[in-house]
Structure 1
Amino acid sequence: MNNREKYRTVRGYELLKRDKEQLTHSMEDYMEMIYRNAMKDGYIRMNILAEQLNVQTSSATKMVQKLAKLGLLHYKKYGVIHLTDQGKEVGNFLLQRHNIILEFLKLLGVEDRILTNTEVIEHGVNIDVLKYIHLLNSFFNSDPLVKEKFEAFKENYDNN
């Protein structure tokens, strides 16, 4: 940590991040889910999006309208949602980030509430840390013996 960096509360870090970026955590979740569906079908319907995110359709509509104003997607009332090119880039990044964190937790052996833990971590990780996590995932996956050694170390560690 350099001398100019100061400690903050988690909320303080979130506010700093929000000043630099346009998307809230909730917006990111919507974009990731829209992107997941757009990869398969090219679009998603509002009722399906709401169902997949376990929210009311009215809440999903409000969020989609906000994302449309940011130029990330196209939506017409009672129609389908299509991502813009910028929305596809954002969605792709968010899905990759999710998958990197999920893979990392699996490599560590996390099983309990893995999706919840992935969601919490992915919103707080910065791009530089994400790159190192991806690098570590790649390192573990590059050699099965590395994973085996880690598993043995972990088992021995847990038994002490």
Structure 2
Amino acid sequence: MPDADRQAANFQRVREAHQTELAEDYVELIADLIDSTGEARATDVARRLGVAHPTVVKAIGRLQRDGLVESLPYRSIFLTETGRAMAERCKRRHEIVVGFLRKIGVDEETAERDAEGIEHHVSEMTLAAFERLIRSKPLG
């Protein structure tokens, strides 16, 4: 069994990742919507996340309190500078994880789906290793 302090630290890291996962998903999606359509509306966010409109409204309120988005009732959602920076970090992590999974032979659809969970829990050290593998010669 691992050392108790190390095991506790690992579980703490996972709990912290779970706490930021929702915010990261929202800001990444909001950035994608703004970049592709020029705006992000709560109804579009709800549809793409597969959740109810009131769930999005509540989450947007939390994101506003955290300084990640700006929004007024019945208006588009905008990312703050901090929110945009978070979205860009999330997109980078997602692309690296997808690239790694594709490199080891996972099909595109599965890689995209699996990356949604992995990207929130992977360390910078592991991401760097994934990037090195992606840039290396083909496997096999």
Q: TM-score, normalised by structure 2?
A: 0.85
Greater RCO, 1 or 2 (C-alpha within 8 Å, sep 6+): 2
Counterpart among 91, 94, 105 of residue 95 in structure 1: 91
Counterpart among 123, 130, 133 of residue 136 in structure 1: 133
Q: Secondary structure of 2:6's match? A: coil
Q: CA deviation at 1:97?
A: 0.7
Q: Does 1:6 align with 2:2?
A: no
Distance in 2 (CA, whole Å) between partners of 1:49 and 1:123 is 19
* Amino acid across the alignment from 1:74: E
Partner of 1:76 in structure 2? 72
Distance in 2 (CA, whole Å) between partners of 1:130 and 1:5 is 24
Which has more radius of gyration?
1
Given the superposition, is the C-alpha separation of residues 4 and 135 from structure 1 closer, same or farther in structure 2, using an over 3 Å criterion? farther
Distance in 2 (CA, whole Å) between partners of 1:72 and 1:58 is 19
Q: CA deviation at 1:78?
A: 1.1
Q: Say if 1:43 and 1:83, in contact at 8 Å, map to a contact too.
A: no
Q: Secondary structure of 2:77's match? A: strand
Distance in 2 (CA, whole Å) between partners of 1:39 and 1:5 is 43
CA RMSD of aligned residues (A): 2.4
Query: What whole-Å deviation, never above 9, does each CA across 1:35-63 have from its counterpart, x for those lacking one?
Result: 11122244301101111111111111111
Query: What whole-Å deviation, never above 9, does each CA across 1:120-160 have from its counterpart, x for those lacking one?
Result: 21111012211221222122xxxxxx21xx2xx3xxxxxxx
Q: Secondary structure of 1:6's match? A: helix
Q: TM-score, normalised by structure 1?
A: 0.75
* Amino acid across the alignment from 1:109: G
Partner of 2:118 in structure 1? 121
Q: Does 1:67 align with 2:63?
A: yes
* Amino acid across the alignment from 1:136: L
Counterpart among 28, 32, 53 of residue 36 in structure 1: 32
